[in-house]
Amino acid sequence: MARRKIIIDTDPGQDDAFALLFALGAPEELEVLGVTTVGGNVPLARTTTNALQLTELAGRADVPVFAGCPRPMLKRLQTAEYVHGESGIDGCVLPQPSRPAAGEHAVNWMIRTIMEAPEGEITVCTLGPMTNLGMAMVMEPKIIPRLREVVLMGGGYFQGGNATPAAEFTIRVDPHAAREAFESRALVTMASIDCTWTAMMTPEWVQSLRALKSASAEALIGMAEFYMSYGSHKFETADRPIHDACVPGYLLVPEAFSYRQCNVVLETRSPETEGMTVVDWWHSTGRPKNCKVLGKVDAPRFFDRMYRAFATLP
């Protein structure tokens, strides 16, 4: 079967790191054309260095990394060091990258790559604020019908948000960019926090990675321990959602995810609910269903597939 060609747009982030290594650990199914970075969990310079270090950790310095937008379309950047630490991937020590980011801007590269590929070939996976993709859609709308799918981690439906009562972090950071994607008519698939909270990573599963005895596993364990230490004041469990990993999880084991086609509208104007993904679960508006909203994850299948991907890494 032909490998699925993907672009990973990311703001690492420990859960982004899990997603990236998950995708890179499945090379027989996913061809990662490039990694594009965005300001999000930490500023752009950090997310770019992190992406370079993580691709090297995976033994994939051949995958180019392109730095993208340092801030959202219309807002100031809001970062999340309080969750991810100063570096964004606290908990592990990785060598400095041996190569720089590619010279081309991520948005230009994204547009060029999608325009040069056959129609319907490329899937864009966004794991952070959707600024790069939103900008690409504004700069060259002809990319939209050429996309195979946009698969994003972000938003919420029953749970509301994690950054505010109404909004999930990545969408809250750049709701205007997210709106571009949701209004684009591209095939959009959303792994919201309602989905990711059904793929809970347990401390026991994290420790099971020790058996892999690899540098990647050691780094993943360290990152997980740091990431899972956040939230003990409010979550009633030691388990944590490994949000972004649901994106490659969906690409690799789609049958492990329930879903519902819905209309989703982005709230961009209200200060209380800015960044909310307004999901018409019951189709009460009659508006066109523009989003595949992922639901419950079959967690054992998901974690088993992720473990097998990590087992292939150095």
Q: Which residues are catalytic?
A: 243
Q: How far apart are CA 14 and CA 245, in angstroms?
A: 10
* Smallest separation (angstroms) from ligand RIB to the CB of 170: 5
What is the closest distance, in whole angstroms, from the C-beta atom of residue 14 to ligand RIB in the complex? 8
Length of the chain: 314
Q: Which of residues 105-144 bind ligand RIB (CB under 6 A)?
A: 127-128
Determine, following the binding rule CB under 6 A, whether residue 11 of this chain makes contact with ligand RIB. yes
244 binds ligand RIB, rule: CB under 6 A:
yes
Cα separation, 4 vs 275, whole angstroms? 30
User: Does 149 engage in binding with ligand RIB (CB under 6 A)?
Assistant: no
CA atoms within a 13 Å half-sphere pointing along the CA-CB vector of 2 = 5
Would you give the binding string for ligand RIB spanning residues 35-54, x where CB under 6 A is met? -----xx-------------
156 binds ligand RIB (CB under 6 A): no
Distance of closest approach, residue 41 Cβ to Ca ion, in angstroms: 6
Does residue 169 bind ligand RIB (CB under 6 A)?
Answer: yes
Q: Are 252 and 305 in contact (CB under 8 A)?
A: yes
If one asks whether residue 97 binds ligand RIB (CB under 6 A), the answer comes out as: no
Instruction: Pick the stretch among 28-36, 91-99, 162-170, 273-281 that binds ligand RIB (CB under 6 A).
Output: 162-170
Among 79, 131, 170, 184, contact with ligand RIB (rule: CB under 6 A): 170
| Helix (H), strand (E) counts: the chain | 12, 11
Sheet of strand 277-280, all strands in order from the earlier edge strand to the far edge: 65-67, 30-37, 4-10, 122-126, 147-153, 188-191, 291-297, 257-266, 277-280
162 binds, among Ca ion, ligand RIB, none (CB under 5 to 8 A by kind): ligand RIB
C-alpha to C-alpha distances, 165 to 17, 274, 293, nearest whole angstrom: 26, 10, 20
Question: Contact at 8 Å (CB) between 289 and 261?
Answer: yes
State residue 17 phi and psi, 5-degree precision: -60, -45
Which one among 9, 13, 180, 279 touches ligand RIB, defined by CB under 6 A?
A: 13
Interface contacts to ligand RIB, rule CB under 6 A: 11, 13, 15-16, 40-41, 127-128, 153, 162, 168-170, 243-244
